[in-house]
Structure 1
Amino acid sequence: MLRVLAAALLVAVGAATATAVVLVHPLWWGLLLGGAATLATAWALPRSWWARPPWALGWVVVLGVVLQSSPGSGYLVAQDVAGYLLLGLGLVVVVVVVSDVTTLVLRPRGAPPGLRPEAGDPTGDPAPPT
């Protein structure tokens, strides 16, 4: 129950982080500080289903929402270098989380992170036996 609550809180933290980065990204120091905060948070969170993926979900959802335009208003992310760097930062967030999730799913249960199963090891082989 605590992990579900932590996951919900991390969605909100990711959304708040992305909102702050989007608002300050037009300034060079804002983009630099927002990128550093985003990458430091992604690195500091534990590699588990309840930590990094919910945080990244909140981050990417906010980025997706601000990329939409509504009638009578403009875009929050311009088509300039800062805007493209912000989109690249969003891509880095997605790649880090996808690589973590695939690592968590494909490693054998109880194995330390980074350990890959041996070739032919039935405990680490995700394919069903033939």
Structure 2
Amino acid sequence: MSVRLLPLSVLAGAAAAVAAVAVHQWWWGAVLAVVAVLAVVLCTPAGWATRLPFGAAYAGVTALVSTTRGEGDFLVGSTATGYVVLGLGLVVLLLCVATLPRPGRGASEPDTPVSPGTR
């Protein structure tokens, strides 16, 4: 089921990054971007097909728009709010990787250890 959410998660991450870049010029836009993106990351279930694609798409789009445009200027300038957006991309990606679920044991193994004499 969660694999079906992968394209939606990538699209949501890219859309969140575009929206954050669009409003980061104003102080309230940067605050709104931080709060909204962190809320989405924390509300999305941790997983390889849910939270991680969101974070990777967000970080990828913010890295892509931080490069020089053809005219020689930047979409994300070297201002405090610009650094907030770029730093948020790194924080989101780190948070998504750090909260990945640990590889679980197989379904045939019990969750709790059984002492030798209780079977």
TM-score w.r.t. the length of structure 1 is: 0.75
User: Counterpart of 2:55 in structure 1: which amino acid?
Assistant: A
CA RMSD of aligned residues (A): 1.5
- Equivalent residue, structure 1, for 2:105: 109
Which 5+ residue runs of structure 2 have no aligned equivalent?
Answer: 107-119
Quote the Cα distance in structure 2 between the aligned partners of 1:82 and 1:109.
Answer: 44
Quote the Cα distance in structure 1 between the aligned partners of 2:70 and 2:37.
Answer: 30
Count, aligned residues: 106
- Write the deviation string for residues 102-130 of structure 1: whole angstroms up to 9, x where unpaired: xx235x437xxxxxxxxxxxxxxxxxxxx
1:23 aligns with 2:22: yes
Say which structure, 1 or 2, has more relative contact order (CA 8 Å, 6+ apart): 2
- Equivalent residue, structure 2, for 1:4: 3
Tell me the CA shift for residue 73 of structure 1: 4.3
- Write the deviation string for residues 19-53 of structure 1: whole angstroms up to 9, x where unpaired: 00011001000001111000000000001211100
- Equivalent residue, structure 2, for 1:39: 38
Quote the Cα distance in structure 1 between the aligned partners of 2:105 and 2:83.
Answer: 39
- Equivalent residue, structure 2, for 1:70: 69
Which 5+ residue runs of structure 1 have no aligned equivalent?
Answer: 111-130
- Equivalent residue, structure 2, for 1:57: 56
Tell me the CA shift for residue 4 of structure 1: 2.5
- Equivalent residue, structure 2, for 1:95: 94
Quote the Cα distance in structure 2 between the aligned partners of 1:71 and 1:13.
Answer: 27
User: Counterpart of 2:102 in structure 1: which amino acid?
Assistant: V
The alignment-based identity, stated in percent, is: 36
Quote the Cα distance in structure 2 between the aligned partners of 1:38 and 1:69.
Answer: 24
Quote the Cα distance in structure 2 between the aligned partners of 1:58 and 1:48.
Answer: 14
- The answer to whether the Cα contact below 8 Å between 2:24 and 2:30 also exists between their aligned partners in 1 is yes
* Structure whose CA Rg is larger: 2
Structure 1's consecutive aligned runs of 4 or more residues displaced over 3 angstroms after TM superposition are none
Tell me the CA shift for residue 11 of structure 1: 0.1
